[in-house]
């Protein structure tokens, strides 16, 4: 068994495990950040589309953290020629000493600008995607070592289709799930349960912000125009019914949270249009 095979076997056997400092930091984080949410929606959109197009025989989970680590970054030219990127015992040992045994977590720092679903999809089309078990978990605080360039990536070819029109989004939904951003209000989103999320309901509502979600279906059992979305909120993934025709204007709060024109709860729709050949 060569070094690449040993490395991949080790990745599979340690799937979901990480340094105790990373686990502690993750447990203290109430929710994922905006870039992590965007990456998770992007890989869910890709997984769904690939099954629909028979590019994958069964639904396959791809790495969202790979997109967090790589989307929106400039190419590192000549990376494969760098000595540090070679998969050797010496380089693995050096990485362990510098980043694990000395507990150098949080070395990635904060991004100046959050990733969007479009950023993540374009990264996948450019670089391909590793399967989830072949990369670190979402929210990992440790920098990916240079020799991860040897991890196999599934080629992804396609383009991002965007629309702000609800009607156009519903046409896209007839073929595959659609990415979108949902205006979140509390306590309504916390209490929705099996009901319909209608946005702000009283003066006690507070604006949480926009959250990337995936629209999976139109709910025809309701009299209202309702869609079912998959959302990750406070690190819990669930399906929520959302009223598509509800309009609102948010005038209080700080400048970043103000919605000064009437808008729907779901906005900024997109899909990955994958190329079969």
- For 18-77, how does the pLDDT look when each residue is reduced to its tens digit (9 = 90+)? 666 777 777 777 788 999 999 999 999 999 999 999 999 999 999 999 999 899 876 553
User: What pLDDT, in 10s, does the model give residues 230-268?
Assistant: 999 999 999 999 998 887 776 555 444 556 677 899 999
Give the separation between CA 133 and CA 11, rounded to whole angstroms. Answer: 7
pLDDT at site 4 = 56
pLDDT at 134: 84
Half-sphere exposure of 31 (CA within 13 A, CB side): 14
Separation between Cα atoms, residue 177 and residue 129, nearest integer Å: 19
The residue that leads in pLDDT, 271 or 84, is 271
pLDDT in tens, 112-123: 578 999 999 999
Distance CA 72, CA 127 (A): 12
Top pLDDT among 220 and 5 is at 220
Q: Residue 205: what pLDDT?
A: 84
- Helix (H) or strand (E) holding 111, with range, is none
**What is the arithmetic mean of pLDDT over 166-190?**
95
Strand-pair partners of 185:
207
Give the CA dihedral 226, 229, 234, 237, nearest 10 degrees: 130
Specify which residues 74 forms β-bridges with.
Answer: none
Q: Token pair for residue 166?
A: 């609800």
Contact status, residue 273 vs residue 160, Cβ threshold 8 Å: yes
**187 versus 147: which is more confidently predicted?**
187
Q: What percent of the chain has pLDDT over 90?
A: 48
Average pLDDT over residues 5-30: 64
For residue 228, is pLDDT > 90?
yes
pLDDT of residue 67: 95
User: What's the pLDDT score for residue 3?
Assistant: 55
C-alpha 184/C-alpha 259 separation (Å) is 12
pLDDT score at 148: 72
State the average pLDDT for the chain. Answer: 80
Structure tokens that stand for 220 in this block? 């025809």
C-alpha closest to that of 92 among 102, 81, 100: 100
Burial of 196 (0-12, 13-18, 19+ CB in 10 A): middle
Backbone φ and ψ of 256, nearest 5°: -70, -30
SS3 assignment, position 259: strand
pLDDT tens digit sequence for 65-114:
999 989 987 655 334 444 445 555 565 555 555 555 555 444 444 555 78
């Amino acid at each position: 068994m060569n070094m690449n095979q040993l490395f991949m076997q080790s990745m599979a056997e340690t799937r979901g495990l990480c340094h105790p400092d990373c686990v502690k930091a993750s447990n203290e984080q109430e929710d994922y950040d905006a870039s992590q949410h965007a990456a998770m929606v992007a890989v869910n959109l890709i997984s769904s589309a690939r099954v629909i197009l028979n590019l994958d025989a069964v639904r396959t989970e791809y790495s969202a953290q790979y997109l967090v680590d790589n989307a929106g970054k400039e190419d590192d030219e000549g990376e494969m020629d760098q000595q540090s990127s070679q998969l050797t015992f010496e380089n693995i040992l050096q990485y362990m000493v510098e980043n694990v045994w000395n507990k150098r977590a949080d070395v990635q720092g904060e991004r100046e600008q959050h990733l969007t679903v479009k950023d993540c999809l374009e990264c996948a089309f450019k670089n391909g995607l590793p399967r989830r078990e072949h990369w670190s978990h979402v929210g990992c605080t440790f920098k990916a070592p240079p020799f991860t360039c040897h991890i196999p990536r599934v080629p992804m070819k396609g383009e991002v289709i965007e629309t702000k029109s609800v009607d156009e989004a519903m046409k896209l939904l007839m073929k595959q799930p659609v990415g979108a951003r949902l205006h979140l209000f509390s306590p309504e989103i916390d209490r929705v349960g099996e009901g319909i999320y209608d946005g702000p309901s009283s003066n006690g509502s507070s604006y949480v912000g926009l959250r990337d979600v995936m629209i999976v279906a139109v709910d025809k059992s309701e009299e209202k125009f309702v869609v079912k979305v998959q959302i990750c909120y406070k690190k819990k993934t669930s399906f929520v019914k959302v009223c598509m025709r509800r309009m609102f204007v948010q005038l209080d709060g700080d400048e970043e949270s103000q919605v000064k024109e009437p808008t729907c709860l779901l906005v900024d729709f997109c899909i990955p249009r994958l190329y079969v050949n």
